[in-house]
């Protein structure tokens, strides 16, 4: 990327929750020398919703009016547009922004360049009409390659761009391995089926997240759990891509065994950076193999950690975005 002068950037996302990946993203924009303002769209909408609820409770209103007013989204969108008009940012960076009305992107484009960053599977993209945000923005990106193709079909100027590793939090530190297998993520039908199969076949597996016995874990607690695991299991959501937990687990120096998805093959080498399985039987066989073969497991884990730390940090991702924005 060519050296550029300091720019004013507005980051629209979730920046008041310690677990949000938007926080390290914003930091990397700042580390690159740019002035970064932020707009917590969810919190602002909730604040407006609290005020509107009391005004509406004694009035008759259509269901649609109640939905938008109580959710506070209409006022939040007004606030966002006013902020853009007032400050004339060089770039408005929109991170998923499911509560933002995609129609206002046309208005934002009159004052600033826009980038739409989307990090969910295709099913979610279709439900929230993410392609509308992508096609209206100057640039767009999707962390799942099939979502990127979905955006392209709707005329968006888009690229496939993964999420990144927060190297300040997810890094290797020698730890005692107390747990055989760890899975972190919400419980759904497919995941329960695989986990139950493994448990019935005497795999000692600890699960953390909504729907499991152990509560969801984030930040330092999540790092501690990953470091304590001999194997971190990843079970993918529908679509071509994978969760940021792949990078997070690998960043801690842990061995990752993932369900196969096509995007893994585009980034990693199997049995060099991680390993993957196609079905629950293969998963069971690989778990048994790697639990017995510590040297092979640790060799892959070390190589995987070095690979993502060098190539897939948030610094890498944000620098690529800046290169496209300012060098095009």
Q: What is the pLDDT of residues 235-249, one digit of tens each?
A: 999 999 999 999 999
**Alpha-carbon distance 77 to 97, whole Å?**
11
Q: Minimal CA–CA distance to 145: which of 264, 278, 314?
A: 264
Mean pLDDT over residues 245-266, rounded? 98
Count CA atoms closer than 13 A to 189's CA, side-chain side. Answer: 1
- pLDDT of 47 reads 87
**For residue 180, what pLDDT is reported?**
98
88-112 pLDDT tens trace: 999 999 999 998 999 999 999 999 9
Q: What is the pLDDT of residue 326?
A: 84
Spatial separation of the C-alpha atoms in residues 112 and 154, rounded to whole Å: 22
Same fold, 8-164+313-327 and 179-311: yes
CA distance 122 to 137: 18
Q: Which CATH superfamily is domain 179-311 in?
A: Glycogen Phosphorylase B; (3.40.50.2000)
**Which pLDDT score is estimated for 1?**
47
Q: Which residues of 196-206 are buried (b: 16+ CB within 10 A; e: fewer)?
A: eebeeeebebb
Which pLDDT belongs to residue 308?
A: 97
* 3-class DSSP state of 25: helix
Query: What is the side-by-side order of every strand in the sheet holding 229-234?
Result: 205-208, 179-184, 229-234, 256-259, 275-277
| Cα(109)–Cα(266) distance, integer angstroms | 33
How far are the Cα atoms of 71, 121, 323 from residue 45, in angstroms, in the given order? 6, 24, 32
- With H, G, I as helix, E, B as strand and everything else as coil, classify residue 313: strand
DSSP 270: B
The answer on pLDDT for 131 being more than 80 is yes
Query: Are the C-beta atoms of 160 and 135 separated by less than 8 Å?
Result: no
Angle, helix 41-56 to helix 73-87, in steps of 10 degrees: 130
Angstrom distance (rounded) from CA 57 to CA 61: 9
Instruction: Convert 94-133 to b/e letters by CB count within 10 Å (16 or more is b).
Output: bbbbbbbbbeebeebeeebbbbbbbbbbbebbeebebbbb
- Contact of 293 with 59, CB cutoff 8 Å: no
Q: What pLDDT, on a 0 to 100 scale, did the predictor assign at position 260?
A: 98
Average pLDDT score over the chain: 93
Q: Judging by beta carbons within 10 Å of its beta carbon (0-12, 13-18, 19+), is residue 168 exposed, middle or buried?
A: exposed
- Asked whether the beta carbons of 223 and 252 are under 8 A apart, the reply is yes
Task: Identify the pLDDT of residue 208.
Answer: 98
Q: Where are the domains of the chain?
A: 8-164+313-327, 179-311
Per CATH, the homologous superfamily of domain 8-164+313-327 is: Glycogen Phosphorylase B; (3.40.50.2000)
205 versus 48: the higher-pLDDT residue is: 205
Give the residue with greater pLDDT, 54 vs 128: 128
For residue 4, what pLDDT band results from cuts at 50, 70 and 90?
Answer: low
Bigger pLDDT: 161 vs 5: 161
- Residue 179: the pLDDT is 98
| Residues 23-71 pLDDT 10s | 999 999 999 999 999 999 999 998 887 765 545 544 545 554 555 555 7
């Amino acid at each position: 990327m060519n050296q550029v002068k300091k720019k004013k950037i507005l980051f629209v996302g979730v920046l008041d929750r310690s677990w949000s990946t938007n926080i390290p993203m914003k930091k990397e924009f700042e580390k690159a020398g740019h002035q970064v303002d932020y707009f917590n769209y969810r919190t602002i909408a909730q604040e407006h919703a609290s005020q509107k609820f009391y005004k509406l409770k004694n009035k008759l209103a259509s269901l649609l009016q109640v939905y938008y007013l109580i959710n506070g989204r209409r006022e939040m969108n007004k606030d966002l547009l006013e902020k853009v008009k007032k400050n004339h940012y060089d770039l408005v960076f929109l991170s998923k922004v499911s509560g933002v009305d995609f129609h206002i992107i046309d208005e934002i484009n009159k004052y600033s360049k826009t980038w739409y960053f989307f990090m969910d599977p295709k099913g979610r993209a279709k439900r929230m009409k993410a392609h509308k945000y992508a096609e209206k923005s100057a640039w767009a990106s999707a962390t799942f390659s099939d979502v990127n193709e979905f955006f392209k079909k709707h005329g968006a100027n888009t690229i496939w761009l993964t999420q990144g590793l927060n190297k300040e939090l997810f890094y290797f530190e020698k730890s005692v391995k107390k747990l055989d297998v760890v899975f972190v993520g919400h419980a759904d039908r497919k995941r329960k089926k695989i986990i139950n199969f493994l448990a019935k076949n005497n795999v000692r597996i600890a699960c953390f997240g909504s729907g499991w016995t152990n509560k969801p874990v984030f930040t330092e607690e999540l790092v501690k759990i990953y470091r304590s695991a001999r194997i971190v299991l990843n079970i993918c959501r529908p679509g071509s891509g994978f969760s940021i937990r792949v990078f997070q687990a690998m960043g801690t120096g842990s061995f990752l065994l993932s369900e196969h998805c096509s995007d893994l093959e585009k980034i990693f080498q199997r049995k060099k950076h991680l390993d993957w399985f196609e079905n629950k039987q293969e998963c069971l066989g690989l778990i048994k193999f790697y639990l017995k073969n510590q040297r092979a497991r640790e060799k892959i884990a070390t190589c995987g950690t070095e690979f993502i730390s060098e190539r897939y940090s948030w610094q890498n991702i944000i620098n690529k975005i800046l290169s496209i924005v300012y060098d095009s």
